[in-house]
Chains A and B, each alone.
Chain A
């Protein structure tokens, strides 16, 4: 009995609850703190109040709301815009299927997409670009996510099938978007007409998906015992890292065209994608290499002691631990890649930011409304970057980066 009494005695005393305590502890805990609060509080309130007033009274958001299609797909021919829709729907469907198969974070993403589509489908405003057809399309995408989910739940559908689906989907979507030279149903649409979020996502997603494996290969190459492989990787990484992205973009979009024969001209969007990919790959390689170095040597010895080959050791032991260790750095690299895609404006590609600029420049009236446009663009970038960092944190938690040593 005595023991339990002692335990009760040492129990943590109940904390005085409430807002007042929080205010006292955080805003008025000392003379200096109190002074700081008194000075900063009115300033904060003033800034908040005037920003909110500007947003609802002063700002003219027509420059944003008038051109939703321009912001999303750029100059893509309006008659062919259904092809962008099909491309998007393919990806939406795969998203739903992945949600059904794996759940977790994909569930949140699917639900978020459904909500956004649903809200736009039911938005109670008159808008020429938000006609009945568009509303039906948006609503259909919500259904498509659910159909995908239902298909993903099917027992005999394995994770491998979904992965295959994901590797075919982007190719199909790109074929739909670009079309074919002599086709009447899918006439070719040159990439000069592509723009807006479409281009931003293509560059970012393409850059991330392609640069990651290249980065891993470069990291392994740099550590290789073969002198030629290691020298090539090192030179590649250091050359790319020593040059600003703008320079690389110029090199790929102008100089590359000079070297190659004119009939084998690579599309300029592809050239930008290559530039972004190689740039990101060099940085990813160094991140991965850092992770590889952090794996204790005992891990490799243990893998060898049970008879695993060098390749198996890398695949099952070293690489998973290395990637887990540097996941935050790699996601950080992807986030900066996403933002860096805005630099393609320099080589004449109208990405999301570029469209915003061209809208401003299209009409003297809009010149007055730059703040609205840039603020809108900033918020959209912020949302996607924040989603990526949120995804990274979820992934870290799932992989136990901090908990499992």
Chain B
């Protein structure tokens, strides 16, 4: 557990519902996240965990309920959406780096055009971030020439370059070869310890054990159970949680 947690609520969700056509993907999610907290969300595929964190920066639109991020309510107002997106960084399962731009340009593009920073400031910050994720020597390469682990670290640097308040991770290690998972998790652990507010959808239980403040178990669009990693691993209350944990911790 990190000691940087404060009492200030930075994300507040009440009764969030989401439908894909007739499919009811989120069925009333309530969650408060405090500044500096590290939240791990896990659950079977199709449980709505990815959909949920994607509603937080409105890559998915929720149809019912309230989401307030950093004091801004998510509504149809485009300015609000763009404001929230500059305050939340997101890391995707498939990295989604821009293949036609060098690593450096991937990172500096948004600071220059969205934050309106001068180019040299953006590049200076980008190089510091590449230093932080351990691959400054790759700055001039193109994403296609990097390993999966390196690409995901660039993606983290790209998200951090906007100096967000919150970082969202959507299964950041699921597309990686096993030997590359650690290099990405190391970066995430360092980030968690630095006091960043993080919501991480992952099945990396070692990571959860090491840095999570709270864990949420999702199933069928609902939060089935939540608690500290200690509670979840040693004293799960719900049968579904026990079953799922036994399945993923078996090996």
Interface residues of A (CB under 8 A from B): 296, 298-299, 301-309, 312, 316-317, 320-321, 324, 399-400, 403-405
A-B contacts besides A305-B90, A306-B89, 7 pairs, CB < 8 Å: A298-B94, A302-B97, A305-B159, A306-B110, A308-B113, A317-B98, A321-B98
Give Cα distance in the complex from A298 to B82, angstroms: 18
Instruction: Given A306-B85, A307-B82, A309-B82, decide whether A299 and B96 contact each other with a Cβ distance below 8 A.
Output: yes
A296, A305, A308, A404: the one contacting B59 at CB < 8 Å is A305
Contact between chains at A306 and B92 (CB < 8 Å): no
- A404 touching B57 in the complex, CB below 8 Å, given contacts A298-B94, A307-B110, A321-B99: no
Given A298-B92, A405-B144, answer yes or no on A305-B85 (Cβ-Cβ < 8 Å).
Answer: yes
B127 interface residue, CB < 8 Å from A? no
What A residues does B85 contact at CB under 8 A? 304-307
Residues of chain A lying within 8 A (CB to CB) of residue B161: 306
B98 x A312 contact (CB < 8 A): no
Considering the chains assembled together, what is the distance between the CA atoms of A37 and B108 in angstroms?
A: 60
For A299, A302, A303, A312, the residue with the greatest tally of chain B CB atoms inside 10 Å of its CB is A302
11 A-B residue pairings within 8 Å (CB atoms): A296-B96, A301-B59, A301-B96, A304-B85, A305-B92, A306-B161, A306-B162, A307-B114, A321-B98, A321-B99, A405-B144
Nearest chain B CB to A299 CB, angstrom units: 6
A302 touches B100 (CB 8 A): no
User: Do A307 and B162 touch across chains, with their CB atoms under 8 A apart?
Assistant: yes
Cα of A307 to Cα of B80 in the assembled complex, Å: 11
B contact residues around A405 at 8 Å (CB): 99, 144
Contact with A along B95-111 (1 / 0, CB 8 A): 01111100000000110
Q: Complex Cα distance A284/B109, Å?
A: 28
Contact B98–A299 (Cβ < 8 Å): yes
A404–B142 CB distance below 8 A: yes
Question: Chain A contacts of B88 at CB under 8 A?
Answer: 305
CB of A341, distance to nearest CB on chain B (Å): 32
Specify which chain B residues have a CB less than 8 angstroms from the CB of A317 in the assembled complex.
98
Cross-chain contact B162 with A301 (CB below 8 angstroms): no
By a beta-carbon cutoff of 8 Å, the part of chain B in contact with chain A is 57, 59, 82-83, 85-86, 88-90, 92, 94, 96-100, 109-110, 113-114, 142-145, 155, 158-159, 161-162
Q: When chains A and B are docked, how far (Å) is the Cα of A308 from the Cα of B57?
A: 12
Least Cβ–Cβ distance between A270 and chain B, in angstroms: 37
Q: Decide: A404 and B92 in contact? CB cutoff 8 A.
A: no
The distance from the CB of B83 to the nearest CB of chain A, in whole angstroms, is: 8
**B86 partner residues in chain A, CB cutoff 8 A:** 306-307
- Residues of chain B within 8 A (CB-CB) of A303 are 98
- Most chain B beta carbons < 10 A, residue from A305, A316, A404: A305
Given the complex, which residues of A lie within 8 Å of B97, measured CB to CB?
Answer: 302
Q: CA–CA, A324 to B86, complex, Å?
A: 28
> Shortest beta-carbon distance, A158 to chain B, in Å?
15
Contact B99 A404 (CB under 8 A): yes
With A304-B59, A307-B82: A400-B142 Cβ-Cβ less than 8 Å:
yes
Least Cβ–Cβ distance between B199 and chain A, in angstroms: 13
Residue of A nearest to B111 (CB): A306
Q: In chain A, what residue has the closest Cβ to B106?
A: A302
> Shortest distance in angstroms between A327's beta carbon and chain B's nearest beta carbon?
12
| Distance between Cα atoms of A88 and B99 in the complex (Å) | 40
When distances are taken between beta carbons in the complex, the residues of chain B under 8 Å from A403 are 144
Q: How far is the CA of A403 from the CA of B109 in the complex (A)?
A: 22
Kindly state the separation between the CA atoms of A332 and B98 in the bound complex, as whole angstroms. Answer: 27
Closest to A404 in B: B144
Bound-complex Cα distance A219 to B42 (A): 41
Residues in B whose Cβ lies below 8 Å from that of A299: 96, 98
User: A113–B226 Cα gap in the complex (Å)?
Assistant: 74
**Cα–Cα, bound, A296→B98 (Å):** 10
- In the assembled complex, which residues on chain A have CB atoms less than 8 Å from the CB atom of B159? 305-306
Instruction: Give chain B nearest CB distance to A311 CB in angstroms.
Output: 10
Residues in A whose Cβ lies below 8 Å from that of B100: 320-321, 324, 399, 404
Tell whether A306 pairs with B114 under 8 Å between CB atoms, given A316-B109, A400-B142, A404-B144: yes
Return the chain A residue nearest B85 by Cβ: A307
The docked-state distance in angstroms from the alpha carbon of A306 to that of B144 is 21
